[in-house]
Amino acid sequence: MRLIRKSIKNIWQIIVIVWLVFAYQLMLNMVPDEVKLIDGDLSKLDISMPVTFECRDSGKRFIDTSVMENQQLQSSMDKAGDERNEIDMVSDTVVLRAKLFGIIPIKDVQADIVAEQEVYASGENIGIYVQTDGIFVIGTGNFEGMDGVLYAPAQNVLKSGDYICAVDGVELENKEALMDAVDKCEGKSLVLRIRRNGETLELYIQPKLSKEETYKLGVWVRDDLAGIGTLTYISQDGNYGALGHAVTDMDTGSMLEVGTGKLYNSRLVGIVKGESGKPGELSGVINYEEKYCMGDIEENCERGIYGTLHEKNNLLEHAVAYPVGYKQDIEPGEAEIISDIDGTIAHYKIRITEVNYRKNKENKSILFEVEDAALLESTGGIVQGMSGSPMIQNGRLIGAVTHVFVDDAKKGYGIFIEDMLEMGKTSNP
């Protein structure tokens, strides 16, 4: 019995330790690593936890603020009389020490002091056309040669995700140039200059004569991609951000390295409603005439596409200026998305169910569910083509729609607008 009691005690100790570790890790995830605080204004750091933030500057002076008491952190030097309560604004970044119940240290949080920012929320449907930076390799395969034998010259030489940049030192403009160079090789080996995971390589490859009497490599390639999405925001200087996620190859799922790209006006022609296990989509027609070109795509990354608009004034006819809401401003509850599903930009009701601060979930930081009856009737919820739809809560632009739950079209993910704006500044210095 003594042995049994000891074993039970040990088991309970292990359970308690595991629970404490789990609880601590949960708290780490519930406190953001970085926040932005508006200079000269009061910003509430309400993260729905009994956490006190102790703010220190580079001079090691402190100011305390308690979320439990709904106090606000003031990022200006209005307490100059008390040296321990000053923030030296020589630096635009301070460090917040997060403490549970004001006692137990959890983590340090970087706080960037920023000015009040306002941007235009769009919701406009856009046509997207990009050309890859090099000829993108989708995959390899075999073909029948003149002698009836199956050949696969590119197998184990080229890989899915490679970019073919040149053949025998000659730069390639498009996939037709690649096909022409291969066909004219007269059976000689070729030197391909490729880019793989950011590294430039030179590979030797031996084309084979196919039964169609043309030389081939046995490789599937792509050099451009087109689709539709939603314009998220327009800044005061005419820069924009859209989608909230990268433009990816439809076959491999890889983010495309873009050489050039354009935004165009698009016209919606139909809706495929989303259903369990099958995401829906908006169908549209893109007009590629130069007069319908809206702007340039200068950056394609995990947080969306970014660039400069040619004429922002036309787009601003339907856009509304909103102050920027930061991650600590977002709360579970009612919100709206702005989207165009029938040729008209409209607001649709959603409910935010969770806010996730983990960096590895940066374009899945906001979990929400569609509650708007009209949107559910038309689309079933979130469908492809709505990516980039602005998210509004409490009169602030807080994020953009990025993904839909495959098994439930009523549910979706969003990205923090501050993450999109940060990338937009990087792309448009």
Can you give the chain as a three-state secondary structure string? CHHHHHHHHHHHHHHHHHHHHHHHHHHHHHCCCEEEEECCCEECCCCCCCEEEEEECCCCCEEEEECCCCCCEECCCCCCCCHHHCCCCCCCEEEEEEEECCCEEEEEEEEEEECCCEEEECCCEEEEEEEEEEEEEEEECCEEECCCCEECCCCCCCCCCCEEEEECCEECCCHHHHHHHHHCCCCCCEEEEEEECCEEEEEEECCEEECCCCEECCEEEEEEEEEEEEEEEECCCCEEEECCCCCECCCCCCECCEEEEEEEEEEEEEEECCECCECCEEEEEECCCHHHEEEEEEEEECCEEEEEECCHHHHCCCCEEEEECCHHHCCCEEEEEEEECCCCEEEEEEEEEEECCCHHHCCCCEEEEECCHHHHHHHCCCCECCCCCEEEECCEEEEEEEEEECCEEEEEEEEEHHHHHHHHHHHCC
Residue whose entry in the numeric block shows the structure tokens 């020589």: 90
Handedness of CA 105, 107, 112, 116 (dihedral sign): negative
R_g of the chain, CA atoms, integer Å: 27
Query: pLDDT digit of tens for each residue in the chain (429 aa)?
Result: 777 776 777 777 777 776 665 555 555 566 777 778 776 343 455 655 666 666 655 433 333 333 333 333 333 333 333 433 333 333 477 777 777 766 777 777 777 778 888 999 999 999 999 999 999 999 999 999 999 999 999 999 999 999 999 999 999 999 999 999 999 998 899 999 999 999 999 999 999 999 999 999 999 999 999 999 999 999 988 899 999 999 999 888 889 999 999 999 998 989 998 887 788 899 999 989 998 999 999 999 999 999 999 887 677 777 889 999 999 889 999 999 999 998 899 999 999 999 988 776 678 899 999 999 999 999 999 999 999 999 999 999 999 999 999 889 999 999 999 999 988 665 555
This prediction has a pTM of 0.81
Tally of residues, the chain: 429
Q: Are β-strands 258-272 and 293-301 bridged in parallel, bridged antiparallel, or unpaired?
A: antiparallel
- Say what the pLDDT of residue 423 is: 81
Check: CB of residue 388 under 8 Å from CB of residue 415.
no
Q: Which of 104, 122, 119, 9 is nearest to 50 (CA)?
A: 104
Handedness of CA 198, 220, 168, 226 (dihedral sign): negative
- Say what the pLDDT of residue 34 is: 79
- Say what the pLDDT of residue 83 is: 36
- Say what the pLDDT of residue 319 is: 84
- Say what the pLDDT of residue 70 is: 33
Bridge partners for 114 per DSSP: 38
Q: Which of 370, 379, 380 is nearest to 411 (CA)?
A: 370
- Say what the pLDDT of residue 274 is: 83
Check: CB of residue 153 under 8 Å from CB of residue 357.
no
- Say what the pLDDT of residue 229 is: 95
Q: What is the C-alpha to C-alpha distance for residues 371 and 381, in angstroms, rounded to an integer?
A: 9
- Say what the pLDDT of residue 426 is: 59
- Say what the pLDDT of residue 377 is: 93
- Say what the pLDDT of residue 165 is: 97
Q: What is the C-alpha to C-alpha distance for residues 339 and 370, in angstroms, rounded to an integer?
A: 13
Q: Which of 298, 301, 307 is nearest to 240 (CA)?
A: 307
